[in-house]
Amino acid sequence: MPSIQSVALLHDWEHLSLPQQVAQMLVVRASGHLFDHQIQYPDWEPSAAILQQWVQELGVGGVILLGGSAAEVGWRSQQLQDWASLPLLIAADIEEGVGQRFAGATWFPPPLAFSAIAHQNLSQAIAAAEQMGAITAQEALALGINWLLAPVVDVNNNPDNPVINARAWGETPEIVSQLSTAFLRGAQNYAILTAAKHFPGHGDTAIDSHLELPILTHDRQRLDRVELPPFEAAIAQGVDAVMTAHLQIPSLDQQYPATFSAAILMGELRQRLGFQGLIVTDALIMGAITNATASTKRLYWLLKREPMC
């Protein structure tokens, strides 16, 4: 495990060189399986030797794990921390519990199922969501995962949405806010990080951002009324990170997708909503970025030149 001295160094980041500081801002994807022949997505997941180089020599700040059993991931997390000179963020997209990604752990129903309970008994749904957050946090920590890339706080108000749908906690900002903050309360009983996603709201799109760039045509009044309240609730609840959405909102920024937009991330999220935590992008391999406009392609090309991205 990293030494006490290396943990202390985290509080004095100015002692890191510029390349080290840049590396600490990167999270790379890796397989949770133990052996290279088990890697399911070789285009996106490095071999063990390359992963070790990224962590040990380049000093990336985090790893997001996908695939493998709970037992494998526990071993993999320990291996990664042993390689690192600074403690790693080890993350996973576990919106439905640890078992959603890693066999042998608890796999809950999708969050939208809790909305169905809420229509019958709101207090029962809130209690269940809070318990889900607590169990997810406990199991994640047992495997060495210290960052939940959850909850989704998008409002699922478009029946044609191919990417959010059942991942959302509900179809109204009120229900989403109440259930997602309950999940956060449960998780916050444990020493784990959380993330609200996908800012500023991915619920009302009919395009999958894994494939193309969605365009949200709502004006500010609509965003303030529907999309943004769950993020405001999550921020008030003390969520640690906010994940960006790969979508374009011309009423806020006519040039860049939210992920690359200073107007949205600094002007809206930081200044207007007062969020002071970590801002993290959604995956940079998604089609909304790789197949985007020429200006965005230029940004992506610059990022892609570094193998860590």
Active-site residue set = 210, 282
Closest Cα to residue 296, out of 113, 286, 139? 286
Q: At 90, which helix (H) or strand (E)?
A: strand 89-92
260 backbone dihedrals φ, ψ, rounded to 5°: -110, 10
Q: Which pair of tokens denotes residue 157?
A: 């108000």
Tell me how far apart the alpha carbons of residues 100 and 166 are, in angstroms, rounded to a whole number: 14
Q: Which string of b and e fits 69-107 if b means at least 16 CB within 10 Å?
A: bbebbbebbebbbebbebbbbbbbbbbbbbbbbbebbbe
Q: Which pair of tokens denotes residue 194?
A: 């959380």
Helices (H), the chain: 4-9, 18-24, 48-52, 70-83, 111-120, 122-142, 173-187, 220-222, 229-237, 262, 287-290, 294-304
